[in-house]
Amino acid sequence: MNELADVTRFARDIRVETLKALTQLGFGHYGGSMSVVETLAVLYGEVMNIDPGDPDWSERDYFVLSKGHAGPALYSTLALKGYFPVEQLATLNENGTSLPSHPDRLKTRGVDATTGSLGQGFRLPQVLRCPTSWRNAVTGYSASSATAS
């Protein structure tokens, strides 16, 4: 993607897929999800260095969605970028799904951080910027240490 029209189209597609998933589910944070669409379209469409074929690539850029209730928009973005099939969005928040209501890095391909409560991911990017050897030494990272005071 190299032009405004491409990013605009990508944002529209993210919006459509997010609305379809939330409508099928029958509930969810529509406003929160819609409010991050343009940011996701620009970052995943133009800015971030990612490889959907190798989501754990050590040289990739990381993305932390601190506002975890906007997870459906992130899932739509990841699906459209090829991390998993778009059809999988229909399983949003179902029992046993890999797409829970809030992003979970252990369940969803392409999610770099598990988040939920507002502000939970606020400090996490600082940890992700540390050298891998330091990150591996970090233990006990909790939501309380990640919230703004």
Check residue 135 and give its pLDDT: 44
Query: How many residues are listed for the chain in this entry?
Result: 149
| Domains of the chain and any CATH numbers | 4-137 (3.40.50.970)
**Confidence check: pLDDT of 58 > 90:** no
Q: Identify residue 61 by its one-letter amino acid code.
A: D
List % helix, strand, coil for the chain (3-state, nearest 5).
50, 0, 50
pTM confidence score: 0.81
Q: Which residue has the higher pLDDT, 5 or 135?
A: 5
**Poorest-pLDDT segment among 94-108, 113-127, 133-147:** 133-147
Is residue 35 within 8 Å of 70, Cβ to Cβ? Answer: yes
pLDDT tens, 16-47?
999 999 998 787 777 889 999 999 999 999 99
